[in-house]
Amino acid sequence: MLKKFFKKEKIENSNDNILVIALLVHAAKIDEKYTENEKKIIKKVIGQLNKTNEEESEKILKLAEKKEDESNQIIEFTNEIKKFSMGFRLKVIEIIWKIVYSDGSSDIYESNLIRRICGLLYVSDKDSGIIKTKIQSLMK
């Protein structure tokens, strides 16, 4: 499903790609539990965005983690994502919800972060809620 979607949206600039992945890393770290399951979800997205193997995906993940560590705000990440279609932005929100629910629950910090990201990406609360419900039902 993701593979088909990401074929439609080409990210030309590798820096843009790192910023998208850095936002996913930020979402994974917000609850202070950056798990292997979250990394697995992110590496899958990296592979689909870049058409990379496991080793290359790991390198890109390390670069994104470094970028996320160096940044003190999400605006840098969301400014790049805003340049893409609404469909792409909704897919990013869906991936973030998958990361959030990969441990079975969502805490207040994760929910707050998603609301902030949605606001910065001009994604409505309704769309986010629909995506959240879809992910919750898939995770059960």
Residue pLDDT, tens place only, 96-128: 999 999 988 889 999 999 999 999 999 999 999
What gap in Å lies between CA 28 and CA 47, rounded to an integer? Answer: 18
> pLDDT digits over 54-69, tens only?
889 999 999 999 999 9
Average pLDDT, the chain: 88
Provide the b/e sequence for 77-93 (b: ≥16 CB within 10 Å).
bbebbeebeeebbbbbb
The arrangement of secondary structure in 13-139, i.e. its CATH architecture, is Orthogonal Bundle (1.10)
Q: What count of residues does the chain have?
A: 140
Instruction: Specify the higher pLDDT residue, 11 or 36.
Output: 36
| pLDDT above 80 for 14 | no
Angle between helices 36-50 and 86-101 (to 10 degrees): 160
